[in-house]
Structure 1
């Protein structure tokens, strides 16, 4: 479950590795988040060797992409992932990165966040 102050992995090439959720947007902070929800994060670790677009301690908006908790789809199937992950966004809700590592759930592709579809490798 992703709640307030949860640690998240970042799966894009922005340079961030680990982030911490500091605010949940459009929901109560005590409710767990689902795939595709928006949140505000703080960068805790970054990749030092690469040319990073972010710095430690910076605050960004992000979209939740994977959760460890099982997510039940409308057709009756359920999916879960190994880690809680997110993708960083600008203040204009555009992606900071030019590439996303890993798979993107079909719920994100069909939603208004379809910009993830163009830069992701595989959708499930």
Structure 2
């Protein structure tokens, strides 16, 4: 994991479903767990923007369905506060499928990507068309 994590409000607990905003063939994915997260007893692991997670594909092409991938959350609906005092909120929850090192599996990312995720994962920043 590269970069600093930042204090983003964790919005997506385990079993949350979100859109996959790349061109790998996955449409809807389900969060299994958050990687490299020190947890608290009896608390569900939850992830926020910029976190690497493990997901399973629920809807997509037959080659990608029911497989497990790593992904990085790039958008979340819950508002989170930036250091300069502004609040950021997206209209959907979305992630991008990656490998273990954070390199994007697809060649295109649809929609905006949060600045927190782009600063933490340089390969996502290089592939993104719009960083908010």
Same fold per superposition (TM over 0.5): yes
1:16 is the counterpart of 2:13: no
* Equivalent residues of 2:14, 2:45 under 8 A apart: no
Q: 1:93 to 1:118 in 2, by over 3 A?
A: closer
Aligned residues: 118
1:103 is the counterpart of 2:100: no
Partner of 1:60 in structure 2?
Answer: 69
Give the RMSD, CA atoms, in angstroms.
1.6
In the alignment, structure 1 segments of 5+ residues that lack a partner are 49-53
| TM-score of the two chains, using structure 1 as the length reference | 0.87
Partner of 1:71 in structure 2?
Answer: 80
CA shift for structure 1 position 47: 4.5
| TM-score of the two chains, using structure 2 as the length reference | 0.82
In the alignment, structure 2 segments of 5+ residues that lack a partner are 1-10
- Choose from 11, 29, 41 the match for 2:55: 41
